[in-house]
Amino acid sequence: MLHDMKHMPVVFEAVRPRRRFSEVLRELAAFPAERVRVADILDAFGDRAFGALMLVFAVPNVLPMPPGVSAILGAPLLFIAAQLMLGRPALWLPRAIAERSLSRADFAAMTDKVLPYLTRFESLLQPRLTVMFNPMHDRIIGAACLILAIVLFLPIPFGNMLPAFAISAFALGLMERDGIAVTIGWLGKLASIGVLAALSTAIAAAAVGLFTHLWPF
């Protein structure tokens, strides 16, 4: 029997490369169902769901949006970032978020607008500086994204673009295991906090000036 096993052909299973975010989006846009749910996106990305859903909810905030949109999109980001910070092995979403959906036509239209930009960014991404990725570092990134998601709730005109950009960079870095993208995310976080601190100081100074003008001592 052992002699026979020596002559058995050895079959090597080809390792399938990880699909890029844009490829998965194209598949979802061609989804036969009438609507695309958040749960469908979660299933499609599997172990990369944390980064994928953070990117889905953060990217719209990079562009100027009507008032209130950042608060709507920021709520799921809080939930996702908190789980990443806590080190959950898999993302869990409550039914109220998981069952949110877009019509397939609307999702396809949105995908068509995003894909040209996304594919350009993806061409620059590759696994590098992978020492930056381990369970503890992922949790630290989750904490940073949680702080940035909280900033998204603040009613600051055009003040949501930097935090959303930083979250998007973190998300791309997590999905592609690209340490450069994560580094850009950290720089974006520092810039966001700096802008927030400057605005807070300016608002406080203006409030003190108004108070002393109205009620001089």
Number of Cβ atoms within 10 Å of the Cβ of 198: 10
pLDDT tier for residue 91 given thresholds of 50, 70 and 90: confident
Mean pLDDT within 28-36: 82
The span from the CA of 137 to the CA of 87, in Å, is: 10
Q: Which long-range contacts (CB under 8 A, 24 or more apart) does 160-166 make?
A: 160/61, 160/65, 160/70, 161/61, 161/62, 161/63, 161/64, 162/188, 162/191, 162/192, 162/195, 163/61, 163/188, 163/189, 163/192, 164/58, 164/59, 164/60, 164/61, 164/62, 164/70, 165/62, 166/191, 166/192
pLDDT tier for residue 10 given thresholds of 50, 70 and 90: very low
Collect all residues with Cβ–Cβ distance below 8 Å to 30 and sequence separation of at least 6.
108
- Whole-model pTM over 0.85: no
Number of Cβ atoms within 10 Å of the Cβ of 57: 27
Of 112, 117, 111, 83, the closest CA to residue 97 belongs to: 83
Give me 121's structure tokens: 């960014």
Q: Provide the pLDDT for residue 14.
A: 39
pLDDT tier for residue 122 given thresholds of 50, 70 and 90: confident
Q: Provide the pLDDT for residue 41.
A: 83
List pLDDT tens digits, range 132-170. Answer: 888 899 999 999 999 998 888 776 666 688 898 999 999
pLDDT tier for residue 182 given thresholds of 50, 70 and 90: very high
Helices marked H in the chain: 2-6, 21-29, 38-45, 49-62, 69-85, 95-98, 104-124, 135-152, 161-176, 179-214
Collect all residues with Cβ–Cβ distance below 8 Å to 177 and sequence separation of at least 6.
127, 128, 130, 133
Three-class DSSP category at 178: strand
What are the residue ranges spanned by the domains of the chain?
18-188
Q: Provide the pLDDT for residue 192.
A: 86
